[in-house]
Amino acid sequence: MNHIVLYEPEIPQNTGNIMRTCVATGTHLHLIKPLGFSLDAAKLKRSGVNYIDKLNYTVYENFEEFRKQNQGIYYYFTRYGRKPHTSFDYSNPTKQNLYFIFGKESTGIPKEILKQDLEHCMRIPMTDKVRALNVSNSCAIVIYEALRQQNYEGLLLEEPSDSTHKGNDYLEK
């Protein structure tokens, strides 16, 4: 199973966007305190639209509590990573839990955490014109790379046909 972990997120709009991505991809979201906002904040709900009630998420007091409760492979995203995110195999044939960990918007993941697992520190390649991509964009890029390698298991590849959708044959009509 895929998981997105936000270490001390600060901006409610980013977390709301990530929540929506998690619902769309069937990804469990883990939030590590302190949070820079209230989970019932209007900005958070507006970014997550009407999907937050479908979100599978857990909140932790700190990183140690998260680590004690979650076993699997941890991947850390940092601008100091030396490997591109696409250099890892996320196909996951053994069905392990994969945790994609992103740091707070202002300072990232603490060096003390990153140094414990340098082999799994990575970055999304970009020009030297920006320090980093927006965290919600980064989460979407990475989770969809993992899902691509997993053949989009559990996701719809066609529009469902029911009264609320236009159906898979919409373009042919």
Query: Got the DSSP string for 89-124?
Result: ----TT---EEEEE-BTTTBS-HHHHGGGGGGEEE-
- Tell me which residue has tokens 């707070």: 104
CATH 3.40.50.150 applies to domain 2-172: no
pTM listed for this prediction: 0.91
Per-residue pLDDT of the chain (173 residues; tens, 9 = 90+): 999 999 999 998 899 899 999 999 999 999 999 999 888 756 566 655 567 788 999 999 999 999 999 999 999 999 999 999 999 999 988 899 999 999 999 999 999 999 999 999 999 999 999 988 999 999 999 999 999 999 999 998 887 766 666 777 777 77
Predicted local distance difference test score (pLDDT) of residue 42? 65
Predicted local distance difference test score (pLDDT) of residue 111? 97
